[in-house]
Amino acid sequence: MSAPVKLLYFAWLRARVGQVEEEVPLPAEVHDVAGLLDWLRGRGPNYAEALRDLSVIRVAVNQNYVGNEHPVHPGDEIAIFPPVTGG
């Protein structure tokens, strides 16, 4: 079996998803960020609700901001969060 991916949630996604982080095996059919978000939405109403509006969702793979077409691989650290509001 290949390595799981580590999923991190920040800001209001934590409360909506109900997780801070989790490790999940990457399904064979998931190859990119879009596919991952799609698959996550099917995992339960909390995920479906949290990831409903992708215009307010940003994704970082291995600590780099990426677009929906970015590939995901076993072992990746994948963070999902709203647009940043620091400074």
Partner 1 sequence: MIRVQREDFDTGKELERLSAGDHTIGGVASFVGLVRDLGGPDQVSALSLEHYPGMTEKKLAEIEAEANRRWPLSASLVIHRYGRLEPGDRIVLVATASPHREAALAACHFLIDWLKTDAPFWKSEETPEGERWVEACAEDDAATRRWR
Residues 67-86 interacting with partner 1 (rule: CB under 8 A): 79, 81-86
Instruction: Provide the mask over 8-47, with x wherever binding to partner 1 is found by CB under 8 A and - wherever it is not.
Output: x-xxx-----------------------------------
Shortest Å distance, C-beta 26 to partner 1: 20
Shortest Å distance, C-beta 58 to partner 1: 9
Shortest Å distance, C-beta 11 to partner 1: 4
* Contact residue for partner 1 among 39, 60, 68, 76 (CB under 8 A): 60
Q: What is the 3-state secondary structure (H, E, C) of the chain?
A: CCCCEEEEECCHHHHHHCCCEEEECCCCCCCEHHHHHHHHHCCCHHHHHHCCCHHHCEEEECCEEECCCCECCCCCEEEEECCCCCC
What is the radius of gyration, based on Cα positions, of the chain?
12
How, if at all, do strands 64-66 and 21-24 pair?
unpaired
Task: Give the residues lining the site for partner 1 (CB under 8 A).
Answer: 8, 10-12, 60, 63, 65, 79, 81-87
